[in-house]
Chains A and B, each alone.
Chain A
Amino acid sequence: MNQKLPPMPERTALASSRFEKPKVKASLILGRLWKYLYASKWLLLLALMMNIASNLLALAGPKLSGYAIDAIAQGTGHVDFPVVYCYASLMIGFYLTAFVISYFLSVLMIRLSRNVVYSMRRDVFSKLAALPVSFFDNRKTGDIISVISYDIDTLNTSLSNDLLQVLTSVITVAGSLVMMLTISPKLILVFAVTIPLSVTFTKYRSEKVRPLYRNRSAKIGELNGFMEEATGGLKTIKAYSREPFFLSRFDTKNQEAVQANYQADHFASITGPSVNFINNFSLALVSVFGALLYMGGSISLGSISSFVLYSRKFSGPINEFANIISDLQSALAAAERVFRLLDEEPETADRPQAAELKEVHGDVRLQAVRFGYVPGKPVIRDISLHAPGGSVIAIVGPTGAGKTTIIHLLMRFYDVDSGAITIDGHDIRDMTRKSLRQAYTMVLQDAWLFHGTIFENIAYGKNGVTREDVVRAARMAMIHTYIASLPEGYDTMLSDNAVNLSKGQKQLLIIARAILMDSHILILDEATSNVDTQTERQIQSAMLHLMSGRTCFIIAHRLSTIQNADRILVVSEGRIVEEGTHGELMGRGGTYYDLYHSQFETN
């Protein structure tokens, strides 16, 4: 199975997919979230129990204060102090216990969400490591990053806050309801009016506001994209003095983004106060009807007090529900994006009978290979070639001819559509990817270094490399003198901009890294195009050392670097159009001859 590049329109759809609402059923997402929670089931159970305990304790408060008030309500000179003291000290005891429990509960919840987030990040990263190269070719780095930072963070916040709050709310609402029922079933009827009102209203509003929020996310995304792009081009903008032009473009995007945000918030700003109003409205009803019942003598003053306090407790969470629900919605959307990433097809597994590639001789064959990133758009049309062990094969041709694609196929970053690639006579699809890739040493045009010391960067390709090995490789790659001149030598950190390494110097570090590795096939994809000719000549011995005894595939623009190749392939539009040694090809007077001569042409 091949991992294909999706066509362009889909690519843009991917970019904006971050802002769509969940397409997967919430229950499915919750089910998968549950698996993460289930790993900490005992913590979860403990938390649940503590939560119930602390809330029940807190719920006792108004009831106790109600009894105390009844004792007070005897009136001037008749207050029953022993009862008041008794209930007041009970209250203090209850609240102290509730404090201890709810603190430990929070700690517990933090541990719980820590476990979940840790495993989720670990899973996402392990997934990234398993995904095929094509996945990264088709996605913006920022989108992938935001899954691991923003989305998981949203989930984290939501789990540690909202989950607890939902539990608390449910218990509080249910408990208050029961308490109010025990106090006065008649007064409860007030809520039969106000709660449906509140629920309907919240639902109606949140449905209206959702498209506005989606628009807001889209506009912010656009603005961020623009800022990223423009900041990357600061130097050029300055060189052409185009600051005003880009500033005004920026202003338009900025206005749009902020306005979209404003519209959403403007509309949403009604919700909170309205729900609050409904609650106050119910308080008014409770007061009036409570007073009437009180006058009728069917309820005590303390009971009204307790009832009012319970009704506050009762409607408080309901008021918060609107917020929690929108939080949970964004948490669900975040979870969905995390799971969607986790569901991506990994690199196809090695075939069950896949063998380890051992004792490589480096005899590479391509047989009638066809390949395209997008179905119907072949990049490699029909390429066959044979590279005997230890030979040097050069591939030349105009950009877009498919040179780098051949390398992708050799490394099995992609699999061929038809035809086959063999090493020492074995189809590379019958080998484990790991052993196959270990057979190669690769130096690409785009020098990849990571945040770490120079030593770590050079030693990266091989385990158990000593300082001496690294220095030796650096010397061969003609970069030792430069490294030694740095204040911290090989321990210099390669951070974003701490050292002003030029592209060429970076490339030399990569070459030093390659020198350290002992594999049988070498791939040089424009490996020295950023290195100037003098340095290239100076490292020639290092390159020759690198190449000796290995099968080499060299892609180069500079024809002088490939003249000594055993065979030169001229590739154009996915086919080999000419093939032979430098001498043969020059004698033929074809494409290669033209290419070669154009480099001497002057004005």
Chain B
Amino acid sequence: MKKFLSYIRPHLPVMSLQFLVKFGGTIIELFLPWILSTILDDAVPSGNMNSVYRWGGAMILCALLALIANVVANRMAIRTSRNVIIQLRHDLFEKALQLSSSQTDRLTIPSLISRLTTDTYNVHQLLDNMQRLLIRAPILLLGGLVITALLEPVLTLILIAALPFLGLVIWYTTRIGVPMYTEAQTALDRLIRTVQENIHGVRVIKALSKGDYEIAKFDQSNRDLIQKEQRAGITMAVTNPGMNLILNLGLALVIVLGAFRVNAGLTQPGRIVAFLSYITIIITALMRVPRLFVIYSKGSASAKRIAEVLEMSETMKIGMRDPVPGPYHIEFKDVCFSYNKVRNNLTNIRFGLKRGETLGIIGPTGSGKSTLLNLLLRFYDADSGEIRLSGENIGGIPPEVLHTKFGVVFQNDFLFADTIRANIDFGRRLTDAQIEMAAGTAQMDFVSEKSEGFSSLLTIKGANLSGGQKQRLLIARALAANPEILMLDDCSSALDYKTDAELRHALAKGFKDTTTIVVAQRISSIMAADKIMVLDEGRIIGYGSHAELLSTCGSYREIYEAQMGVVM
């Protein structure tokens, strides 16, 4: 909540003003019963009709003023929450962009998405309701106390005596009830996950005829959730009748005490009428409170989840520059790395690539191929050893400088709902010539078959392209800015061999000076590389040219023979 409050703080002056306007409006509204009592106690006994009309007019005037004040206050509140949310969401998204990869791994992407969407929405709701509705009950209570104290100080004591009891009810609900709602929310998340899994796995579930099993599994989550929801609901159910009871008992006391006061000539009956009005007004205002607590419990849980992200510290520090001149464009020196810091994912990786050379990496699944690329991009810091780019330790290069040197395609890379051109351009303001050149090299001949060409729109995640088309589009993106270093992580697997070969020809011709790292499953994709690295369980077990490896590296020869079959 602390973090959340820091977003509210700049708006505190406006919020206080809004509070004052609302308070003023409410007080004016609360004058109404008072005026009524004045009419009954003073105007009526005097028999002065004009005075009755005058006071009646005053009531309408007060009602009008209250209307204006409330509308003004509400609008101020809406504006405040708009401004807070714009800033909060902006900061959260910015933070999401800045998080290091290990931080995103820990949070998980789906969780990050729900924090950006559902959670910011809940906080917005909370902020809105807090300012507009939740605050009304205390204001009425407070205002009622002020007015009644002016009207009849002794009877006010009864209202004051009721306060601790009201407080107790509210304390009870927040302490006991809100955590129960949080629990129910977790159960709901579990239920949703079951549904999500079922949607993604629909083919498998149908193929295995596991529908009934999944229904039973869902039923379990459903029951669990219902149980928790019910427990929370029943706990909270005591709030409304409880608060009603306390105030109504107060009402009865006011009558008894009032009777004594009237009898002793200390007050007038009209004031008691006004008093009863006040208590009824306050009860009506409190009726809404329990529902607001639900909003509060949701909103504060969301605020906490948002704050968790916002408060993550920056883990990637930019170190000192320490250029060491050398022959290599890319150099790994005894690099070790582990994701979970238990088992190494890469051990003693050591190699150097000169400018314009091509490195092919091959190796079993889980051998550390993609990890190596992640380290070179400095998504993670190596545990030991160093990585140098043109002699410069990458730890000393600001990320935006480092990253513009690269053109990268990851496995299952990201496409977004925009034009093909925008997906290649990727916000880099490239020229049409650059785009077309890249598309040509990447063998994107399918663009010309589309009626809109480069302006054709992709649907979300590029779902309207085939796997091979997506991969070529991603390669075009990587090439378009003419990068110093090109990294392709298994991004031609969906291409047929023919297109794959043509792509390789075009790359060799058009990108001679680009240092290239290709990760592949197909040996044909890397056979012609200057250097080939064979990885196994995070270690280099073979390094050299195709011809060298055929004679020195048993594993490599095995892969080659397996993939090429009987060479004719």
Give the contacting residue for B237; candidates A107, A114, A251; CB below 8 A.
Answer: A107
Residues of chain B contacted by A276 (CB below 8 angstroms): 29, 66-67, 70
Please measure, in the bound complex, the distance between the C-alpha atom of A281 and the C-alpha atom of B62, giving whole angstroms: 9
Determine whether the beta carbon of A411 is less than 8 Å from that of B207: yes
Q: Is B35 an interface residue (CB 8 A)?
A: yes
What 0/1 pattern do residues 548 to 573 of A give for CB contact below 8 A with B?
A: 00000000011110010000000000
The reply to whether A599 and B524 contact each other, CB–CB distance below 8 Å, is yes
On whether the beta carbons of B277 and A308 are closer than 8 Å, the reply is yes
Interface of A is mostly: helix
Contacting B at CB under 8 A, from A265-279, are: 265-266, 269-270, 272-274, 276-277
The answer to the question of A428 belonging to the interface, with a C-beta cut-off of 8 Å to chain B, is no
From B417, which residue of chain A is reached at the shortest CB distance? Answer: A229
Complex: chain B residue closest to A111, CB-CB: B230
- Shortest distance from the beta carbon of A544 to any chain B beta carbon, whole Å: 14
Q: Which residues of B contact A238 (CB under 8 A)?
A: 97, 101, 377, 379, 399, 403
Residue A188, interface by CB 8 Å: no
Complex alpha-carbon distance, A408 and B431, angstroms? 43
Q: Chain B residues near A233: list those with CB within 8 A.
A: 413-416
Question: What 0/1 readout, one digit per residue, does chain A (575-586) give for beta carbons within 8 Å of chain B?
Answer: 000000000001
Q: Which residue of chain B lies nearest to A77 when distances are taken between CB atoms in the complex?
A: B263
Contact with B along A397-419 (1 / 0, CB 8 A): 01110000000000101000000
Q: Is the CB of A243 within 8 A of B97?
A: yes
- List residues of chain B with CB within 8 A of the CB of A309: 276-277, 280
Q: Tell whether, in the assembled complex, residue A251 and residue B90 are in contact, meaning their CB atoms are under 8 Å apart.
A: yes
Give min CB distance, B513 to chain A, whole Å: 16
Residue A42 lies at the interface, judged by CB distance under 8 Å to chain B: no
Interface string of A219-248 (1 = CB under 8 A from B): 010011101111111111111111101110
> Size range of the interface on A?
35 or more
Which of the residues B39, B377, B559 comes within 8 Å of A239, measured between beta carbons? B377
Complex alpha-carbon distance, A71 and B563, angstroms: 104
CB of A202 within 8 Å of the partner chain: no
Give residues of chain B (90-141) contacting chain A, Cβ–Cβ below 8 Å.
90, 93-94, 96-99, 101, 104-106, 108-113, 116-117, 121, 124, 128, 132
Q: How far is the CA of A141 from the CA of B198 in the complex (A)?
A: 10
Say whether B325 faces chain A, with CB atoms less than 8 Å apart.
no
A532 touches which one: B64, B364, B524 (CB < 8 A)?
B364
CA gap between A107 and B49 in the complex, in Å: 52
Interface membership of chain B positions 345-369, coded 1 if the CB is closer than 8 angstroms to chain A and 0 otherwise: 0000000000000000011111100
Asked if residues A69 and B256 are in contact (CB atoms below 8 Å), the reply is no
Could you tell me the distance between the alpha carbons of A507 and B404 in the complex, rounded to whole angstroms? Answer: 34
> Contact between A148 and B508 (Cβ–Cβ < 8 Å)?
no
Chain A residues with Cβ below 8 Å from B219 are: 122
A283 near B59 with CB under 8 A, answer yes
Residue B78, interface by CB 8 Å: yes
A448-B204, A532-B365, A598-B498 known; A144 vs B70 contact (CB < 8 Å): no
Asked if A149 is at the interface of the complex by the 8 Å CB criterion, the answer is: yes
The docked-state distance in angstroms from the alpha carbon of A61 to that of B98 is 61
Which residues in window 309-342 of A have CB below 8 A to B?
309, 312-313, 316
Contacts of B403 in A (CB 8 A): 238-241
Determine the chain B residues whose CB is within 8 A of the CB of A240 once the complex forms.
Answer: 403-404, 406, 408, 426, 428
B508 touches A603 (CB 8 A): yes
A510 closest partner in B (C-beta): B204
Instruction: Determine whether B550 belongs to the interface, using a CB cutoff of 8 Å to chain A.
Output: no
B303 in the interface (beta carbon within 8 A): no
CA distance A228 to B113 in the complex (A): 6
Which residue of the partner chain A has the closest CB to B559?
A: A533
Interface size class of B (residues with CB under 8 A): 35 or more
Tell whether, in the assembled complex, residue A287 and residue B493 are in contact, meaning their CB atoms are under 8 Å apart: no
Q: Is A254 an interface residue (CB 8 A)?
A: yes
Q: Would you call A563 and B565 a contact (CB within 8 A)?
A: yes
Q: How far does the Cβ of A447 sit from chain B's closest Cβ, in whole Å?
A: 9
CB distance from A348 to the nearest CB of B (A): 14
Whether, in the assembled complex, A181 has its beta carbon less than 8 Å from a beta carbon of chain B, the answer is no
A360 within 8 A of B: no
Contacts A287-B35, A437-B206, A560-B564 known; A503 to B493 CB distance under 8 Å? no
Name the distance in Å between B336's Cβ and chain A's nearest Cβ.
17
On chain B, the residues within 8 Å of A384 by CB distance are none
Contact digits for B214-243, partner A, Cβ 8 Å, 1 yes 0 no: 110011001100100110011001101110
Query: B252: which A residues are within 8 A, CB to CB?
Result: 88-89, 91-92, 95
Task: Of the listed stretches B4-12, B79-87, B143-151, B386-394, name the one at the interface; the rest are far from the partner chain.
Answer: B79-87
From B154-162, B171-179, B266-274, the one touching the partner chain is: B266-274
Instruction: Report the minimum CB–CB distance from A237 to chain B (whole Å).
Output: 7
Q: Does A161 touch B at the CB level, under 8 Å? A: yes
A85 vs B44: C-alpha distance when bound (angstroms):
27
The residues of B that contact A69 with a CB separation of less than 8 Å are 255, 269, 272-273, 276
Q: Could you tell me if A261 and B461 are in contact, using CB atoms closer than 8 angstroms?
A: no
- Chain B residues with CB under 8 Å of A444's CB are 203-204
- Complex contact B52–A129 (CB within 8 A): no
The verdict on B468 contacting chain A, using a C-beta distance below 8 Å, is yes
Whether A229 and B244, one on each chain, are in contact in the complex, defined by CB atoms closer than 8 angstroms, is no
Q: Which residues of A in the span 422-470 have a Cβ within 8 Å of any Cβ on B?
A: 433-434, 437-438, 440, 442, 444, 448, 450-451, 460-461
In the assembled complex, the Cα of A448 lies from the Cα of B201 at a distance in Å of 6
Give the residues in chain B near A46, CB-CB below 8 Å.
Answer: none
Chain A residues whose CB sits within 8 angstroms of the CB of B15 once the complex forms: none
Chain A residues contacting B3 (CB-CB under 8 Å) are none
> With A and B bound together, what is the CA distance between A141 and B201 in angstroms?
12
The 17 listed contacts between A and B (C-beta, < 8 Å) are: A69-B269, A69-B272, A72-B263, A76-B265, A95-B244, A106-B241, A235-B379, A236-B410, A277-B66, A295-B49, A301-B273, A313-B280, A399-B469, A502-B365, A504-B366, A595-B497, A603-B504
Which 3 pairs across A and B sit closest by C-beta, in order of nearness? A504-B365, A233-B414, A245-B427
List 6 additional A-B contacts (Cβ < 8 Å) besides A8-B464, A160-B233, A232-B113.
A92-B252, A281-B60, A294-B44, A450-B201, A532-B367, A558-B522
